[in-house]
Structure 1
């Protein structure tokens, strides 16, 4: 095996009250990560969405950080060239950096037959997130590896729970710049006990709703975060207006990750109406997609 080409999905984290815990893999958008064996060293090239803004220095690139650590840990003597085709806009709130991190970990596991478990791949993938978010987080890389709906329930030790789900989502991507670091810094350092009870209760209810295929309950609870969303809503012009306009057309609506992407669980008969509202307010790309699988191999040479 000389080269592997991997599809790595976009993801939506938090899903309202599940801050830093819940994650959802999306069928669209996605990145393509190609890794080819070379004589020595690690080189990186990037094309696609905002490619010109993505560093190709190994220590500054999220995929490069993951690759460097895996090559060191497994004493891989071959060099590699990483080519990333960005289909997920960086800074979108749709797991752009996570897709690169997960894609490279998955690709190296295949290319060098490392036989790592999905949980081990999540551990390596999360190292690259420190470049983008300032600390290693698994809420986006977990669904990028596992697919479906994931819960990162512990970091020491790392624990990820996985629930396969069949769910359609409608995502808007406003042309608004939201810094992941800023989106984390504005969050409260302490919260009232009643807010903690609300979010724990709503999160538990969302899991219950998945097992009972109750879209109404899942979406209603997804929309009831009282800790993170109220802070981040101020970073996205028009969000409160849109949330009010579509409230009867969706089962649920919330900010995807740190934003600016907005994720909804739409009522099928209103999909076009919701799209029109998104475009009227933001004139932005809209993805009508579904929950998808984690990383998978597209091609091997």
Structure 2
């Protein structure tokens, strides 16, 4: 193949109790990348649509991730990456991760798949390092692997794929506010009370168990964040009212998507997820802040091919 078109999904990270280690991939919400081999070496970035991005490869998350991959493989082949950007930067649903992971996945395909999807994660993480000063994997891992993922360890990197219960559906509201991950991280405390850490560990274990057992009530009980959410929620207008409306509508649980400002909810079944979407709209309409709402099943495939040209 000389050219490839790739769908790069949006993702929800942290999932309340799994700061920097848990994430999931969404269906139908994401970017599209067109990646082609070029006669010259290096990476060329072009943007076809969406919010303006840096076009210098060294300043673009897709470019940085791609360059790190080529350097590791000692590849002289050049590539042109054209981006249709549908995930707004700073939205909290993995905008930078979609670009970084999509770039390395697409280039890997054009090179004949020398690396597995898991082996691509460290290179996509370099794009995240550029975006947020931290090479975290909670967004790029589900983007590449699909479904739910857990980063068991960062040193050495150990990423696990978790089950995705069939009836689980996500609803996400994205207030049209940009909240940079690097800024949101500055609100985090460097130390955590032991009692809160114990509660968070219990929720993380409960959520993982709920996914394996397809115990939707356990999943809902475990979607609690006593460490990060109390600080970050202050940056999201109407968060407390939104959480109450989502809970009253029947969602299993809800929380901040990534670093925000997006807020997600998980529900059992699409009918309930749509009711949650209406509750989100009803709550946010009086605030006068533009917003988007997405209802999505869990994307078990992750990044995937749209089309190819030989």
Name the TM tier (shorter chain). over 0.9
2: CA distance, partners of 1:286 / 1:18: 23
Cα distance per residue 1:212-233 (max 9 Å; x no partner): 11112102211x2100011110
Distance in 1 separating the partners of 2:157 and 2:75: 25
Q: Distance in 2 between matches of 1:246 and 1:79?
A: 48
User: Does the Cα contact within 8 Å between 2:266 and 2:273 map onto a contact in 1?
Assistant: no
> By how many angstroms is 1:32 displaced?
1.1
The residue that corresponds to 1:103 in the other structure is 102
Give the drift of 1:114.
4.1
1:287 aligns with 294
Q: For the residues of structure 1 that align with 2:58 and 2:196, how far apart are their CA atoms?
A: 39
Deviations 1:107-166 (A, max 9, x none): 111101242022211111111101111121111000001100000111111000102313
Q: Deviations over 1:34-65 (max 9, x none)?
A: 11111113211123331x2x101111100000
- In the TM superposition, what are the counterparts of 1:87-166 in structure 2 within 5 Å? 87-165=86-164, 166=166
Q: How far 1:102 sits from its partner (Å)?
A: 0.6
Alignment correspondent of 2:307: 299
Retained in 1: the 8 A contact 2:246–2:265? no
Is the contact made by 1:13 and 1:256 (CA closer than 8 Å) also made in structure 2? yes
Conserved in 2, the CA contact under 8 Å of 1:255 and 1:261? Answer: yes
Change (3 A) 1:272 1:158: closer
Residue number in structure 2 paired with 1:27: 27
How many pairs does the alignment contain? 298
Alpha-carbon separation, structure 1, partners of 2:232 and 2:221: 19
Residue pair 2:170, 2:273 contacting (<8 A) in 1 also: no
Deviation string, structure 1 residues 247-292 (Cα, Å, up to 9, x no partner): 1321101111001111101355544443233223334211111110
Shift of the 66–272 alpha-carbon distance from structure 1 to 2, 3 Å rule, reads closer
CA distance in 1, matches of 2:221, 2:28: 24
- Corresponding residue of 1:237: 237
Q: Is the 2:23–2:149 contact (alpha carbons within 8 Å) kept by the matching residues of 1?
A: yes
Please say if residues 101 and 144 of structure 2, whose CA atoms lie closer than 8 Å, have aligned partners that are also in contact.
yes
Q: CA deviation at 1:198?
A: 0.4
CA contact (8 A) 2:87 2:93 kept: yes
Question: What is the TM-score of this pair, normalised by structure 2?
Answer: 0.92
The question of whether the paired residues in 2 share the 8 Å contact of 1:49 and 1:90 is answered with no
SS class of match (2:237): coil
Q: Which has the higher mean CA deviation after the structures are superposed, 198-207 or 241-250?
A: 241-250
Secondary structure (helix, strand or coil) at the match of 1:257 reads coil
Distance (whole Å) between structure 2 residues aligned to residue 263 and residue 47 of structure 1: 28
Using the alignment, how far apart are the partners of 1:77 and 1:197 within structure 2?
A: 49
TM-score, normalisation: structure 1: 0.95
Alignment of 1:74-85 (within 5 A): 74-85=73-84
> Cα RMSD (Å) of the superposition?
1.4
Displacement of 1:93 in angstroms is: 0.6
CA deviations on 1:180-212 (whole Å, 9 max, x unpaired) are: 111111011101100000000000000111111
